[in-house]
Amino acid sequence: MAAPFEIEVEELDRRRKAGDEMVVLDVREPWEFALCAIDGSLHIPMNGLPGRVDELPTDRDVVVVCHHGGRSAQVTMWLRSKGFDRAINLDGGVDAWARRIDPNMKVY
C-alpha cells in the first residue's frame, strides 16, 4: 500500500520521536546540506540519486527533503515511478522544519 504523498514537519517530528524507523533522504546540494540538516538524514543530492537509489530501503518510509519541498516533490514522484511506494515528500522542506520544529537550525 502506498504511503500518503506528503507529510507535515510536525508529523515527521512526532513519528521520529516515537521511534518510527524511516529514512529521511535529503536531496539538496552539498553546500546546502553543510549549512543545516535534519539530524540523522541520509544525504544524496538530487542529481546523484539515480546512481545511488539502491541505497534506499523499500520496506519502510523514505521521507524526501529539500529546501522548500519543490525538488523533493519531484524526487518523490520519481522514486514512486521506480517502485518506492513509501516515498513521501516533506511539505515545506528543511525551511519548515527549522521554523516550526528546530528553532536553533540555520535558515537560508
19 is a domain residue = yes
Residue 80 lies in a domain: yes
The predicted pLDDT at position 66 comes to 98
Q: Is 12 helix (H, G, I), strand (E, B) or coil?
A: helix
107 within domain boundaries: no
Q: What percent of the chain has pLDDT over 90?
A: 95
Q: What is the pLDDT of residues 57-105, one digit of tens each?
A: 989 999 999 999 999 999 999 999 999 999 999 999 999 999 999 999 9
Is 44 inside any structural domain? yes
> Residue 58 has which C-alpha cell?
523499500
**Is 36 tagged catalytic?**
no
Residue 34 within any structural domain of the chain: yes
pTM value > 0.85: yes
Write down the pLDDT at residue 1.
63
14 belongs to a structural domain: yes
Is residue 94, in this structure, part of any structural domain at all? Answer: yes
Task: Say if residues 36 and 52 touch (Cβ distance below 8 Å).
Answer: no
CATH number of the domain encompassing residue 56: 3.40.250.10
Identify the domain containing residue 58 by its residue range: 6-100
Looking at 25, 49, 66, 75, which residue is catalytic?
Answer: 66
Total domains present in the chain: 1
- Residue 71, in any domain of the structure: yes
Task: Specify which residues 3 forms β-bridges with.
Answer: none
